[in-house]
Structure 1
Amino acid sequence: MSASVSLFASEHSWIESDAVAQCHQVAALDGMVHVAGMPDLHPGKGAPIGAAMRSSVLYPFLVGSDIGCGIAVFPIALKKPSPERLAARFPDLDVPLAPDPDDPAWAFASGGRAVPAGYTESLGTVGRGNHFVELARVQSVEDTAHAQRLGLDGGDLVLIVHSGSRGLGERILRAHTEVLGAGPAADPTAYLAAHDDAVRWGSLNRRLLAARVALALGAEPTEPVVDQCHNLVEIRDGDYLHRKGAAPGDGRDVLIAGTRGTPSYLVAAHAGAGAGWSVAHGAGRKMSRADALRRGRAKHTVEELRRTPVGSYVVCGDRQLLFEEAPTAYKRIEQVIADLVTHELATPVAVTVPMVTYKTAEPEPARRDKRRSWTRS
C-alpha cells in the first residue's frame, strides 16, 4: 500500500505532471509513510525536487548527491554600493581556498571548525547549476518585529549564499549507489555519519564564501542570520524525514530564493507534520535546462542576460549557464510564497532584491575590460 501524498500548491501554480508522478512513485517504496510536495515541486533524477518524504527506511537517493546544500544570509555593510563596480570586485569563487589560519576569510569562517579529513579541495567554491552568491538589498520588510530580531531593516544589504557540499556529497551517494543502487541504506548509522559531515561542510563553505566576498568588497565578514540546509535527512518521531529541495519549516527562518532577476523572500516557517515540517526552498524550475537553453537563445542575447529586469548584474563566464539559469526558466516566486501563506506554512518577514549575482567567474581578459569600462563611466 502506497504512502499518502499531499501537494501544497494551488491551481494557479505551475506543477508538472511528471513531478507529481515522481511523488507517487516514491510513495510506493517500502516503508514510506508520507510525501509532501512543496509549491516549487519539479522533476528530479529519480526523485522529486521540492519534497519532504517520510519513511521508516533510509533511502540515500531521496536526498541525492548534493547533501548539505542550503541557503544562508549574511548582513554586509557597504558605503555607496554601486552594482557595476562591486560586480567587478567579486573574487573568483571557482578557485579553492586552502585551510590557512593566516587567511582572514578562513580564520573567520572556520572558527576552529574541523574540515572532514581528505576533502578540502573545493573549499570556498560556489559550484555550478543553480548555486550562487548574491549581493542583495532588503527591498521591504513585511514583519517589522521579526526583521528587527534578525537585525534587518529596509535598505540593508545582505549576502545570500546558495551552495552545498560540492563533491563530498557526490562521493557519499556514489559509495551507496555503486553497491545498492536506489535501495535503502544497508547501514543507516554509517550513512548518517558521512551525511552529517557533508551537512557541516556545506554550512562551513557558505560561511567561507560569504567571508571571501565581504573582504573582497571591503567589508567585514559577519555571522549569518539565516542558514538552513534543504538537502538532508533527519530522524523525526522515529522515522527518516528526507528533504530534497525542501527547507526545514518547523519554527525556522528560511530564505526562499527567487531568481537572479526577481526578489527572494525571507520567511518565518511554521509547517507541521502534514507538510513534512518543511517549506519550499526556491522558485523551482519550470523548464528543463535543455529547454531553457533552446528557448533562451531564440529570445535573448548573452549581454541581455547579464543585466536583469531589476537592474542587477550577473557575473557568469559560462554562456550556456546564463541561458540555463535565466529567470524565465523558473516559476513565479510570488506564487510560491502565496501558496505557502495560503496553506499556513510560512509568513513573509522581508523581501530582498538582487544587485549582483555571482554564478561563475568570467575569463580574466573580460574582467579587466569591464573594470576599465566601469572606471570610465
Structure 2
Amino acid sequence: MGNPSGDKIPHDATARGCAISRFYSPSTWIEGEAIRQLDEVAMRPGMVELSVFPDLHPGKYGPVGMVALADRLYPQLVGNDIGCGMSLFELDLPLRKLRLDKAAEQLRKLEEVDPDDPSERLEALGLAGDYFAGALGTIGGGNHFCELQAVDAAADTGPLDRQRLHLLVHSGSRSLGASIFSELIAAKGAMHDGLEIGTEAAVGYLLDHDAAVSWASLNRQMIAERAAWTLRADIRLVADVPHNLVRLTERGVAHYKGAAYVEPGAIAPIAGSRATLSHVVRALDAVTGSLGGISHGAGRKYDRRAMHGRAGGTKSEREALAGNEWGGIAICDDRNLLVEEAAGAYKDAGKVVADLENFALVEPLGAMRPLVTYKSVQADIRERERSKMRDRATIRRMRHD
C-alpha cells in the first residue's frame, strides 16, 4: 500500500510554504506541461497545499486533476464550467431485455424531448424560475456525455445491480457558468494574485458560484430524465459528484479543478472513455488527507489538436471510432468531436483507480461497460421539428397513463 496521506513534497519556493501531495505511483505518466502548470500554481500568492491525482493533465488556467488550497480565491482555477460533475443513475430496465440498436435510436432523440417546466425546481433551489431555464437538460460539447452502461463487475455488497442498466451523465453549468466567469474576467482581468475573501468581488463570485453548482446538478438530473423518457424507464440516483468548484474550509479556500469532491463513505463514478470501462468507487477516510479530492475520470493523454493526427484518418477508422469491443454505439454526428474524444485520447481509468486505491483514498465497487454514448446530434431541422411533435404527443400520453 502507498502512504495513505500522500507523498508530501515541499515546493522549491519554500518562502511560499506550499506543499504538494502527489497521489499517484512513480510509473504513472504525467505530461511535462501539466507539471510546469502545477509548479506555477504552487508559486501563486497565498497558496498553501496542492493535492494532485493520476489523471493530471494540462488545462487553460492551470492543470486539471488537482485540488488547490489557498488563503484566497482563484476563480480561474475552477474555470468557466462551474459545477461540472458526474451523476450516476440506475434504470429500472433489465440488461437481458436490451436491444442496442433500438436503445441508440431512442437516445438519439434525447435533447428533442420537451422537459417539464423547470420553474418550480429552480425556485426550490432558491433561484428564479427562469434562471437560464432554456439550457437545462442539455449536455454541451467537449468531453460531456450521457452514457447507457451495463455493470461489468461489481462487489457483492456494493450499490450496483448487475441485472439493471445504468446512466452516467457528465455535464455542467453550460452558458450560466460561462457567463459568470466571462463577466468576472472582464471586470478583474487575470486575477494572478487572487481575490481576498470578504471583498465584494469574492462575495459576488461565491454567490454566483453556489447558484451554478446547484443549477449544474439539476441539469444532470434533467438530462437523465430526458434519456429515461426516450428509453421508457424510471431512474434512481446513485451518486452526484461535482468536480469543478470551490469550498470554504477552516484552512482556506479549496479549489477543485477536474477533481471530484467527496466525503468519506461517498460513492463516486470515475469515467473511462466511450470504448473503455468506467469505474464506481467509495471514498475512504483518507480522503481528508487529499483535501476531499479524488480523480473524476481517466484524464486526457493527448490534447484535441494532437488527436487529429492519431485517429480517424480514414472513413473506416472513423466508423470504428463509433463502436467498441462490447458492441457499443457512439452517437456523435460531429466528425471532429468523434476523433478528439476517441478512447486513445485518454489514460487508463483502471490504472487511475489503482493509484487511488493504493493510497487508500477509495475502495473499488465495480466497473461499467459503455453501451450507448450520446455526444451530439446534427439532425435536419425540419425532421427535428416533426420528431418533436411526435414525441410530445407520446410523452403527454405516457404522463397521462
* TM-score, normalization by structure 2: 0.84
Tell me, yes or no, if the aligned pair for 2:86 and 2:170 is still in contact at 8 Å. Answer: yes
Separation in structure 2 between the aligned mates of residue 21 and residue 273 of structure 1, nearest angstrom: 26
Secondary structure (helix, strand or coil) at the match of 1:15 reads coil
Do structure 1's residue 195 and structure 2's residue 209 form an aligned pair? Answer: yes
Change (3 A) 1:114 1:274: closer
Aligned to 2:232: 218
Tell me, yes or no, if the aligned pair for 2:49 and 2:69 is still in contact at 8 Å. Answer: yes
Aligned to 1:178: 186
Separation in structure 2 between the aligned mates of residue 228 and residue 18 of structure 1, nearest angstrom: 27
Aligned to 1:312: 328
Aligned to 2:388: none
Q: 2:317 aligns with which of 301, 316, 324?
A: 301
Deviation at 1:97, TM superposition (A): 4.9
- Where do residues 33-112 of structure 1 align in structure 2 (5 Å cutoff)? 33-79=48-94, 80-94=97-111, 97=114, 100=117, 112=124
Matched residues, number? 356
Q: 2:291 aligns with which of 273, 276, 282?
A: 276
Separation in structure 1 between the aligned mates of residue 123 and residue 99 of structure 2, nearest angstrom: 31
Deviation at 1:114, TM superposition (A): 5.3
Secondary structure (helix, strand or coil) at the match of 1:297 reads coil
Secondary structure (helix, strand or coil) at the match of 1:195 reads helix
Secondary structure (helix, strand or coil) at the match of 1:177 reads helix
Secondary structure (helix, strand or coil) at the match of 1:225 reads strand
Do structure 1's residue 24 and structure 2's residue 39 form an aligned pair? Answer: yes
Separation in structure 2 between the aligned mates of residue 255 and residue 42 of structure 1, nearest angstrom: 19
Deviation at 1:85, TM superposition (A): 1.1
Which amino acid counterpart does residue 45 of structure 1 have in structure 2? K
Which amino acid counterpart does residue 247 of structure 2 have in structure 1? E
Separation in structure 2 between the aligned mates of residue 9 and residue 24 of structure 1, nearest angstrom: 17
Separation in structure 2 between the aligned mates of residue 318 and residue 333 of structure 1, nearest angstrom: 25
Aligned to 1:263: 277
Which amino acid counterpart does residue 231 of structure 1 have in structure 2? N
Change (3 A) 1:246 1:318: same
Aligned to 1:247: 260
Structure 1 residue runs without a partner (length 5+)? 369-377
Separation in structure 2 between the aligned mates of residue 244 and residue 291 of structure 1, nearest angstrom: 22
Secondary structure (helix, strand or coil) at the match of 2:134 reads coil
Deviation at 1:98, TM superposition (A): 6.4
Deviation at 1:361, TM superposition (A): 1.3
Deviation at 1:120, TM superposition (A): 1.7
Q: 1:290 aligns with which of 305, 308, 315?
A: 305
Change (3 A) 1:97 1:52: farther
Change (3 A) 1:58 1:125: same
Which amino acid counterpart does residue 240 of structure 2 have in structure 1? D
Structure 2 residue runs without a partner (length 5+)? 1-14, 385-401
Aligned to 2:29: 14
Separation in structure 1 between the aligned mates of residue 113 and residue 187 of structure 2, nearest angstrom: 31
Deviation at 1:99, TM superposition (A): 5.6
Separation in structure 1 between the aligned mates of residue 211 and residue 122 of structure 2, nearest angstrom: 14
Deviation at 1:162, TM superposition (A): 0.4
Separation in structure 1 between the aligned mates of residue 251 and residue 190 of structure 2, nearest angstrom: 22
Change (3 A) 1:14 1:97: farther
Which amino acid counterpart does residue 342 of structure 1 have in structure 2? N
Separation in structure 2 between the aligned mates of residue 124 and residue 330 of structure 1, nearest angstrom: 26
Deviation at 1:237, TM superposition (A): 1.6
Could you list the per-position Cα deviations for residues 208-231 of structure 1 after superposition, in whole angstroms to 9, with x for gaps in the alignment?
0000010111112x2311001000
Which amino acid counterpart does residue 171 of structure 1 have in structure 2? S
Which amino acid counterpart does residue 22 of structure 2 have in structure 1? L
Change (3 A) 1:292 1:206: same
Deviation at 1:95, TM superposition (A): 5.4
Aligned residues: CA RMSD: 2.2
Do structure 1's residue 356 and structure 2's residue 333 form an aligned pair? Answer: no
Name the larger-Rg structure: 2
Separation in structure 2 between the aligned mates of residue 97 and residue 189 of structure 1, nearest angstrom: 36
Could you list the per-position Cα deviations for residues 290-314 of structure 1 after superposition, in whole angstroms to 9, with x for gaps in the alignment?
1112211337622111111232100
